[in-house]
A and B are shown apart, each in its own frame.
Chain A
Amino acid sequence: MNLLIRNGRLIDPAHHRDEVTDLLIENGKISRIGKSLKPDGPKSETQIIDGTNQWVLPGFVDLHVHLREPGFEYKETIKTGTEAAAAGGFTSICCMPNTNPVNDNQSVTWMIREKARQEGRVHVYPIGAITKGSKGEELSEIGELVEAGCVAITDDGKPVMNSAVMRRAMEYALAFDLPVIDHCEDEHLMEDGVMNEGFVSMELGLKGIPAAAEEVMVARNLILAEMTGCRLHLAHISTAGSVRLIREAKGRGVRVTAETCPHYFSLTEEAVRGYNTDAKMNPPLRTLQDRDAVRQGLKDGTLDVIATDHAPHAEEEKNREFDRAPFGIVGLETALPLTLMLVAEGVLSVEEAVAKLTILPARVMRLNKGHLGIGADADLCLVDPEATWTVDPRRFRSKSKNTPFTGWKMKGLVAMTIVDGRGVYSTEEIQAI
C-alpha cells in the first residue's frame, strides 16, 4: 500500500523546506514531494490522506526514553511504551539501559531489539550501559554492545561518579565514534535530596538538590570531553549554570550536544507544592531563572535537542510520601504541545522547534532519521496545529499516568503517525476508546 498525503504544510528543517505540498510514500520510503502529485499505478493501491490545514512533519526522535522492559513491565513495556511514542508523534526512540537486568551486554540488547521488532510500533534504538551493572566501576563490553545495535552508552539514572572511569569510557568510545551520555549529578552534593534546593524546599521541609550537583558534573564532563575528543551528549539539562557551561564549551569547539526536557522549560519547583509526587523528577524542577535560561539555551542552540526522559512509574509508587516516591514522569504524549507552547510564546520558530524534535536528535545518534528527504524512510507524523485538548492521563497509551500536566489545555494534536509508510497511530483510534 502506498500513501499520498495531499495539501499538507510540509515542514522539514533538515532541507529547509516549509511549504504546502503533497508527499508520496511508496514501499515505505518517501518517493516524491511536489504539488498535485498523482500516484503511479492503479489508484486502489494508493491511500490518499487529506493533509489540508495539517502539518506534515518528520517523525519525532526521542533520545531519552525508559521503556522499563525487561524487569519493570508493571510500569511500561516495549509494546505500551512504543504505543505511547506513536501517539506522541515519535517514530524513533532510544531506550535507556537501567532495566533489570541492565542493558550492559549484548543479550539484553538483542532481546530489546527482537521484542521491539515483534511488538513495537516505532523504531527502538537501545542505549547500552557504560559500566557493568551501571555501577560506575568497570567498563561494559562496549564493542559488543555496539555490534548488537546500541547507538550510545550511558549509566543514566546514575552518574559515572569516578572521573577516571568516565575518562576511560570516553577514550574507549572513540574507537566506535560512539556518543557517551551522562546523567550529570554529583551524588555527594545530591545526598538524599528529593527536589531543587531553594526557597520551596525550605518551606516544604524537603531535602534539596542544589543546582551545583548538576553543574559540577557538567563541567567535569566537558573537561573530559575536551581532553579525550569524545562525542559527549549531556542528558536532561535543567540549570542556568549548566547552560552557561555548555555554551562556553561549544564556543571553544568541544564536541558536545545537549538535551533538555519539556518539563524543564514548562515548569518550576513551584509545581512541587502540596508534595506533588508527579512533579518529582531527577534532575528536579528548578527556579524560574533556570527555566528561562533553559529556554534561552534552546533558542540560541546551546541545547540542541528536546527529549522526554519518559519515566513511567506505577500509581501506587507515586501515590505516597514524597520522600519515598520514585523520580520521573511520563512525557511521550505531551512533548509536542509543550514544545509548541514555546513557539506560541515566541521562544522558538516552528522550524527550530521541529528540528529539536527530529533532525537534531537524529544527528546526535547518527541515525538517518528525522528528515523528509527523497528516499528516506517514511517515518512521519501529521499534526493538527489548531486542535485544542485537555490532558487526561487516563487516555495515555503509556501504562503509567504519572504526569504533572493533568488538566493542562494543550494546542496541537498528533493526528497520525506513520512508520515505514504504515500508519501506526491516528486520532480515530483515540475516539474509539
Chain B
Amino acid sequence: MTLKIKDLISIKDLDRDELRLILDTAESFKEVGARDIKKVPTLRGKTVVNLFFEPSTRTRTSFELAAKRLSADLVNISADSSMVKGETLLDTARNLEAMQADLIVVRHPCAGAPALLAQKMTSAVINAGDGAHEHPTQALLDLFTIRARKKTLEGLTVVIVGDILHSRVARSAIHALKMVGSSVRVVGPPTMIPREIMNWGVEVFYQYDEALKGADVIMTLRLQLERQGRSLFPTIREYSNLYGLTARRLSMAKDDVLVMHPGPINRGIEIAPDVADGLSSAILSQTTNGVAVRMAVLYLLSGVAKHEPVDPQRTPH
C-alpha cells in the first residue's frame, strides 16, 4: 500500500488507512535512529529541499535528519537567502523545479502557500507549517507518540490548551485525532478559540481545571509572546495563572495522563518546569519520534515506495 496523494498539505488530505500507513512506516524507521550507524540507503539519489520562510530550528532539523538518515541529498534554503530574496514564491518554485528537486519541505508564514506550490509543481510538497493553517507532520508525530504510550488512539480524551485560533498545530491535531476516534477538548481564553470550532465536533472549555477531568492526553501549545498587547490576553502573568499546566492541575487529569508540547517551550508560562520534565511528559519522545515520522513521510511521498515494500534493513542494489 502507498499514499494516493502527491503532497502532504493537510491532514484532511489523508484517509484513516493512509494515516495508519504513515504511523506504521514510522515504526519501522524509528529503529534506524537507535542504531550506531543511523543511515539507510532508501532515498539515495533523491533531492530534498528544506524551504523555510519562517525561522524554525526544531522542524527544520528534524526534516534534515530524516532526509539524511534516508541518504537523500538535502539543501536548506531560508527566506533571507539570495535565491529567494525579492522573488515571488512561484518563481522560487520554478527554480527549484528546474534544479530537479524531488521533495520540497516548506514552512511559510502565509496559510495556503504550500498548497499554491503543490498546485504549480510536479515535485512532492510537504507542508512543514503554513500560517495558522496546518502542520501535518506535527500531528502525525503527536499521534505516533500517543499510540506508542497508550497502545491505542481510539476513545482517548485529548485536551488541547492555548491559542487555538492562531495554531496550525491545533488544527492538524484536531483533524487527526477526530479521524482516529479520539475525543478532543479545547481550552483557552475565548479570545483564542474560534467561535465556529464546535462544528468540528470538539468540546470547548474556558476553565482549565474543568477541561482536565478525565483527560488521557494534554497537548499544551506554545504561547506566542508577541501576541501580548493585541488584546488576546492581558498579561503573560494572568495567562500563566489561568492556562499554565502546573502539578496541581495535572492531578485533575487521569493518573496516566500524557503531557505533550510541540516546542519550543516557554518554561513557567504554558507549562511549569516540573511538569515539562516530569514522568508524565512525552515532550522529548515527540522530538525523537518526529524524525521517524518525517522519514516515513519523505519515503512514502518520494515515489520509491511504489516500487519496493518498506524494509529499511534491505540494501537496495
Binding site for B on A (CB under 8 A): 198-199, 202-207, 274-275, 316, 319-324
Enumerate chain B residues within 8 angstroms of A320, measured Cβ to Cβ: 88-90, 116
A205 and B168 contact, CB distance less than 8 A: yes
- Could you tell me the distance between the alpha carbons of A198 and B199 in the complex, rounded to whole angstroms? 11
7 A-B residue pairs with Cβ-Cβ distance under 8 Å, sorted by A, are A202-B165, A207-B132, A275-B112, A275-B115, A320-B116, A321-B113, A323-B111
Taking CB atoms, residues of chain A closer than 8 Å to B194 are 202
**Interface mask (B157-191 → A, CB under 8 Å = 1, otherwise 0):** 00000000100100100000000000000000000
List chain A residues, Cβ under 8 A from B165: 202
With A202-B196, A275-B115, A320-B89 known, 19 other A-B pairs at CB within 8 A are: A198-B196, A199-B196, A199-B199, A202-B194, A204-B111, A204-B133, A205-B112, A205-B130, A205-B133, A205-B168, A207-B132, A274-B115, A275-B116, A316-B88, A320-B90, A321-B116, A323-B110, A323-B111, A323-B112
Q: Of all chain A residues, which has the CB nearest B175?
A: A203
Contact check, A205 vs B113: say whether CB atoms are below 8 A apart.
no
B41 at the interface (CB under 8 A from A): no
Which residues of the partner chain A approach B247 to less than 8 Å between Cβ atoms? none
- Chain B residues with Cβ below 8 Å from A206 are 111-112, 131-133
The residue on A at minimum CB distance from B88 is: A320
Closest Cβ neighbor of B109 among chain A residues:
A323
Residues of B125-144 whose CB lies within 8 A of A: 130-134
3 A-B pairs with least C-beta separation? A205-B133, A275-B112, A205-B132
Q: How far is the CA of A319 from the CA of B111 in the complex (A)?
A: 14
Which residues from B are CB-within-8-Å of A199?
Answer: 196, 199
Q: What's the minimum C-beta distance from A316 to chain B, rounded to whole angstroms?
A: 7
Interface string of B58-88 (1 = CB under 8 A from A): 0000000000000000000000000000001
Q: Is the CB of A205 within 8 A of B115?
A: no
- Residues 97-108 of chain B, each 1 if its beta carbon lies under 8 Å from chain A, else 0: 000000000001
Q: Tell me the bound Cα distance from A204 to B131 in angstroms.
A: 9
CB-CB < 8 A to B112: which residues of A? 204-206, 275, 321-323
Kindly state the separation between the CA atoms of A262 and B161 in the bound complex, as whole angstroms.
Answer: 42
Residues of chain A within 8 A (CB-CB) of B130 are 205
Chain A nearest CB: distance from B199 CB in Å?
6
Chain B residues contacting A203 (CB-CB under 8 Å) are 171
The reply to whether A205 and B196 form a contact with Cβ atoms under 8 Å apart is no
How distant is A213 from chain B, measured CB to nearest CB, in Å?
Answer: 15
Asked if A205 and B171 make an inter-chain contact with CB atoms under 8 angstroms apart, the answer reads yes
Docked pose: A275 CA to B9 CA in angstroms: 13
B111 touches A205 (CB 8 A): yes
Closest to A321 in B: B110
A162–B111 Cα distance when bound, in Å, is 32
Contact A321 B196 (CB under 8 A): no
Smallest beta-carbon distance A408→chain B, Å? 21
In the docked arrangement, what's the CA distance between A154 and B89, Å?
35
Partner of A322, one of B90, B111, B197, B199: B111
Complex Cα distance, B115 from A322, in Å, reads: 11
Given known contacts A198-B196, A205-B130, A205-B131, A275 and B90 CB-to-CB distance under 8 angstroms: no
Query: Given the complex of chains A and B, what is the CA–CA distance between A183 and B109 in angstroms?
Result: 29
Residues of B within 8 A of A319 (CB): 88, 90
A-chain residues with CB within 8 Å of residue B108 when the two chains form the complex: 321
Partner of B111 from the list A198, A275, A316 (CB cut-off 8 Å) is A275
Return the CB mask of B223-256 against A: 1 if under 8 Å, else 0. 0000000000000000000000000000000000
Q: Which of A198, A202, A207 has the most chain B CB atoms closer than 10 A to its own CB?
A: A202
Contacts of B132 in A (CB 8 A): 205-207
| Residue in chain B with minimal CB distance to A319 | B90
Q: Are A205 and B134 neighbours in the complex by a CB distance under 8 Å?
A: yes
A321 near B168: Cβ-Cβ < 8 Å: no
Minimal Cβ-Cβ distance residue in B for A322: B112
The residues of A that contact B133 with a CB separation of less than 8 Å are 204-206
Q: Chain A residues with Cβ under 8 A from B109's Cβ?
A: 323
**Which chain A residues border B196 with CB–CB below 8 Å?**
198-199, 202
Residue of A nearest to B165 (CB): A202
CA distance A143 to B207 in the complex (A): 59
Closest Cβ of chain B: how far from A67's Cβ, in Å? Answer: 26
How near does chain B come to A241, taking the closest CB pair, in angstroms? 16
Residues on A with C-beta less than 8 A from B90 are: 319-320
Give the CA-CA distance A203 to B130 in the complex, in Å.
Answer: 12
In this complex, which of A198, A203, A274 has the most chain B Cβ atoms within 10 angstroms of its Cβ? A203
Is there an interface contact between B110 and A322, defined as CB atoms closer than 8 Å?
yes
Whole-angstrom distance between the alpha carbons of A206 and B132 in the complex?
7
A188 closest partner in B (C-beta): B231
CB nearest to A203 among chain B residues? B171
Chain B min CB distance to A211 (Å): 12
**How long is the Cα–Cα vector from A320 to B115 in the complex, in angstroms?**
11
The distance from the CB of A204 to the nearest CB of chain B, in whole angstroms, is 6
**Beta-carbon nearest neighbor of B167 in chain A:** A205
**A275–B133 CA distance with the chains assembled, in angstroms:** 11
What's the Cα separation between A252 and B194 when bound, in Å?
Answer: 37
In Å, the complex CA distance between A319 and B88 comes to 9
How far is A393 from B90 in the complex, measured between Cα atoms in Å?
Answer: 21
Instruction: Enumerate chain B residues within 8 angstroms of A207, measured Cβ to Cβ.
Output: 132
**Cα of A16 to Cα of B123 in the assembled complex, Å:** 62
Please report the C-alpha to C-alpha distance between residue A240 and residue B88 in the assembled complex, in whole angstroms.
Answer: 38
Q: How far is the CA of A323 from the CA of B111 in the complex (A)?
A: 8
Which residues of chain B are near A323, meaning CB under 8 Å? 109-112, 131
Q: A202's closest neighbor in chain B, by CB?
A: B194
Most chain A CB within 10 A, of B110, B168, B199, is at B110
Residues of B within 8 A of A202 (CB): 165, 194, 196-197
For residue B89, which residues in chain A have a CB less than 8 angstroms away from its CB?
320-321
Query: In the assembly, what is the distance between CA of A206 and CA of B108, in Å?
Result: 13
